[in-house]
A = this chain, B = another copy of it.
């Protein structure tokens, strides 16, 4: 390795460390920190973020990147170093267009907006929240003005989207979401009023201590190893990791609905497997920074829904849930569990939505945030438009803004352009699942025995070990032989729902 490459790698490794430290500060804040530590923590987090930004955007980083690019010009363009330099140059170009003052104001407004959101949501007071949202939208536009020359963007929203999934474009998302919506709306209409006898059983009490045992069994099957993983309780579940050998997930338990914790844990552990599965030689490089939220979400949803909520895995899961749950749950069988956790029930809250209706919550947010950024929708009109579109897409009535436009944290903290990655991840999970099933013909039998190693290894080989070497679109092309597509997910879903409801779809 040349001295230049070595210096560049060391510099980027330090930036990786700073990002890991920032993650740890957040994890500690949400799981361990005494309440009054918040003010000091905010300062410490801001300091680390500022230093990471300063070091990344410094002239020295730019010079090392330019020198490294020159050295690698005639080498193998697919070498790790070549990929690292290309990817980092693009990130550097983008980051250096944002003045320090704007970066600081984005961070400050995110923090202030989130605080305001917590209070306004508790009071169901959209008026109190609106100015913060307005400010975040204005800042997003300012941000776009800075970065718009750093990519081939057709719109302001393109530039935002690119920050959450490199190379993703609004037109692509629009085409996919339009096809997805057209497939889901009639499916939901067909199924929403059908009853599924016996599914009310899952609301039976299940002691939290026993749910923890069930969760531990599932995690052990997924590959959770106490030497490099941990799980904690939080109000809002999440996954984070510091390097490849320190993966932390969190969850919350509902005494009267055990799937909340169980599938929540499978979701977060799906994120965790991706982080833990990056090739060790990529540690502390930008390729271990898993920056495609589409790929990240494809893993969480694949494990949560395609594995966790499958009929096959229900065969393994149901008797264990029955034994640990006891009481009314002692009679739980695989069929009932499978039907219950796949029931189609349009509802108000995204994070509680079933697999079928979930994507429509995302389509709605994708549309609204574009209209907000482009000035076609005023913040003041948002609650009304939200209610109308919820009625139109899901046929549900929004009772309060707290359960409507204020239900999610994202916009309050300036995350605009983030939402579509959830549904795009779902589509990618459908494509990967289709491919994985084709290559692992015994998969159902394995899942029914609780053997998850085959699926994990296939994903490790085809996705995890690569880190962020490929964009979501490149990875799908490589593994599935085409662009991101709707059909595999919809086909999978129809087949599952046919099984759940016993009707041809």
Instruction: Spell out A's residues near B (CB within 8 Å).
Output: 13-14, 17-18, 20-21, 24-25, 28, 32-37, 39-41, 43-44, 47-48, 50-51, 226-230, 242-247, 283-284
The prevalent SS among residues of A at the interface is helix
Given known A18-B47, A41-B242, A48-B17, contact A229–B25 (CB-CB < 8 A)? no
* Contact indicator A40/B242 (Cβ below 8 Å): yes
20 contacts between A and B (CB under 8 A): A13-B43, A13-B47, A14-B51, A17-B48, A20-B40, A21-B25, A21-B47, A24-B24, A28-B28, A32-B32, A34-B228, A34-B229, A35-B227, A35-B228, A40-B244, A40-B245, A41-B242, A41-B246, A43-B284, A44-B242
Given known A39-B243, A43-B284, A284-B43, contact A227–B34 (CB-CB < 8 A)? yes
Interfacial chain B residues near A43, Cβ < 8 Å? 13, 17, 243, 284
- Alpha-carbon separation in the docked complex, A4 to B34 (Å): 34
For A39, the closest partner residue in chain B by CB is B245
A-B CB proximity, top 8 nearest:
A40-B243, A37-B246, A17-B47, A36-B245, A36-B228, A17-B44, A36-B227, A14-B47
Interfacial chain B residues near A35, Cβ < 8 Å? 227-228
> A106 → chain B, closest Cβ, in Å?
19
Given known A17-B48, A18-B47, A284-B43, contact A246–B24 (CB-CB < 8 A)? no
- Alpha-carbon separation in the docked complex, A247 to B246 (Å): 24
Interfacial chain B residues near A32, Cβ < 8 Å? 32, 230
For A283, the closest partner residue in chain B by CB is B40
Interfacial chain B residues near A18, Cβ < 8 Å? 47-48, 51
* Contact indicator A230/B34 (Cβ below 8 Å): yes
- Alpha-carbon separation in the docked complex, A480 to B124 (Å): 58
> A108 → chain B, closest Cβ, in Å?
15
* Contact indicator B17/A228 (Cβ below 8 Å): no
